[in-house]
Every structure is written in C-alpha cells, then in structure tokens.
C-alpha cells in the first residue's frame, strides 16, 4: 500500500464533491477553518453544481477527481459530502493516474466506494473521516482534532461498548470497509470489496434493523465474513424500528459470532459525533481484553 505524503503548513488542498451536492455556505466555512490551519484551499467545480441528487453531471465530478490527483500543487483531497453518486464513477476512473500520484484522500459514507476502489486498484491508503460540509456546520473538538494525523504520525485508540469473542483475543490485520449499504452494493461487481485476512469495518445510518439484517445476510452469502479476520461495527445512527424488532447487537451476534472471529461494536466512527478520522488500508489491532481498536496513522 502507498502512503501519501503528510501535509505541510502552506500546502494546497482541494475540496471536491464526487457524490451529492453540498451546502455552499458550509463549504466556505470549512474552507475558512482549513485556511486557519495554514492551508490554501481550492474548491472544485463539482462543489458548486447540482443535478438532482448529484453534484453535477458524472463528467464534472469525474473531472474534478482526476484534476485533484493530477494537479501537482494539490497535496490533499477532501470530499464535500456523501449522499449518492460515487459508484457511478467507478468504471471511468483512471486508477493508474491515482496510483502514480498518491495523495491524501478523505471522506466517508458514500465515499466508501472510492475508498474500496482506490485501495484495491491504486494501492492507496485513504482516510475515513468527517465531510467538509460537517466541518463547516461545526464539528466537536475530538473529531476535528483527528485531522492532525495528516500532518504528523498519530496513534488512534478507540474504545468499543461491546466485544464478542475470547477476551484474550488480539488480532492485527489491514483495515478495510466503511458504509454497509455501499459495501453491499459492490458485491458481484469488479469493485467488490476484498475482506480476505482483513478487519472489516462497517457503519450505517437511518436503516431499520431488518434492512441491516438483509445487508449482513448478503455479505454472509458473499462469504465476506468467513474470509475476514474480524469485524468492527462502529455505529448505526437512527437505526431503530417502531415495530417489534431484533436489536442491532442481536443481529450482529447472529451473523458474526458463529465464524469465531472477533466483533467490536459501537465505536465513535460514522454518522455520529464524535466521528474520528482514521486511515484505511493500514494494519489495525483489535484487543479483546481492552475492547479497543488501535490504528497507527504513520503517514510519511
């Protein structure tokens, strides 16, 4: 895997919108906050366009993505928001171009499709973390502080609410994953997530438990759990039902525990606050006794 170079004060970064259209007001506020960090910020054309639920045509969003990686002055690429749209770009992306120009790439939610593709086709370490629209709205201090890892090495230790497996379990493996619905949508395509000998991280928002059950079942049928080293289900914000229902933890237990792999549940990652940023594609460690996920963001 290729690590991007760290940011230096005075570097240029670019905000792009490969998925849904963001609030321009919030993006300008995020721009100001990044400038206060000592960075120079370029805003892509896609951020300012709208086509229904997309941030402009596919060609506009694809051009911004390629421009961000080819522009020699741009050292970091930050996604404006999620929503939907990144999966539409996958067949048209020049992965060789990205592999030859490794840069910081940051986002989450629908951006999961790009995290998977960049990791598997460009061998690029990417970063799962808060969107620029969220930065503009106002992040909690802990979430915002996770941007520090882009400037210097940074150790991240996250505590889970629950752990299922032997309490003495301690496993280190590359970390992959992101949004559950987006990951499920890759199955049966050339961009299907590879979980073999990996720690699989999952997060979701606004899905009723039976829908989470359906997606986990699809991952099971796709043999994604029997191949992986462990599962981290970080959060499922607003994933409740007014009807009689299994809980998310009960569903996870049904699908994961039989594989005799560690399962961490409920960490400050995803569509919640705090939402801690961290790298994907790097080794991470699950510690059963401490119920922690540890990641060293050794950007260099």
Residues belonging to the active site: 109, 203, 271
- What is the 3-state secondary structure of 68-130? HHHCCCEEEEEECCCCCCHHHHHHHCCHHHHHHCCCEEEECHHHHHHHHHHHHHCCECEEECC
* Cβ contacts of 264 within 8 Å, gap of 6 or more: 160, 162, 163, 230, 231, 232, 233, 234, 286, 291, 293
**What is the per-residue burial (b if ≥16 Cβ within 10 Å, else e) of 254-277?**
ebbeebebbbbbbbbbbbbebbbb
């Amino acid at each position: 895997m290729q690590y991007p170079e760290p940011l230096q004060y005075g570097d240029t970064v670019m905000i792009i919108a490969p998925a849904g259209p963001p609030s321009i007001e919030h993006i300008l506020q995020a721009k100001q906050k990044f400038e206060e960090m000592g960075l120079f910020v370029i805003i892509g054309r896609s951020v300012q366009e709208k086509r229904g639920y997309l941030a402009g045509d596919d060609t506009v969003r694809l051009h911004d993505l390629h421009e961000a990686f080819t522009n020699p002055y741009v050292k970091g690429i930050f996604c404006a928001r999620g929503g939907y749209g990144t999966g539409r770009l996958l067949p048209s992306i020049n992965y060789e171009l990205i592999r030859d120009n490794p840069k910081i790439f940051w986002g989450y939610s629908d951006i999961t499709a790009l995290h998977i593709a960049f990791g598997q086709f460009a061998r690029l370490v990417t970063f799962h973390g808060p969107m620029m629209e969220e930065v503009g709205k106002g992040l909690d201090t802990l979430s915002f502080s996770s941007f520090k890892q882009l400037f210097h090495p940074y150790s991240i230790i996250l505590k889970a609410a629950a752990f299922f497996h032997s309490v003495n379990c301690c496993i280190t493996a590359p970390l992959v994953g992101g949004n559950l619905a987006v990951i499920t949508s890759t199955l049966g395509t050339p961009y299907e997530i590879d979980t073999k000998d990996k720690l699989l991280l999952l997060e979701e928002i606004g899905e009723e438990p039976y829908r989470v059950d359906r997606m986990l079942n699809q991952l099971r049928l796709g043999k994604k759990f029997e191949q992986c080293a462990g599962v981290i289900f970080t959060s499922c914000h607003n994933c409740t039902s007014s009807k009689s229902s299994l809980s998310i933890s009960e569903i996870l237990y049904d699908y994961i525990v039989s594989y005799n792999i560690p399962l961490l549940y409920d960490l400050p990652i995803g569509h919640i606050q705090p939402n801690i940023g961290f790298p994907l594609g790097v080794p991470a460690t699950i510690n059963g006794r401490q119920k922690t996920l540890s990641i060293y963001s050794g950007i260099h």
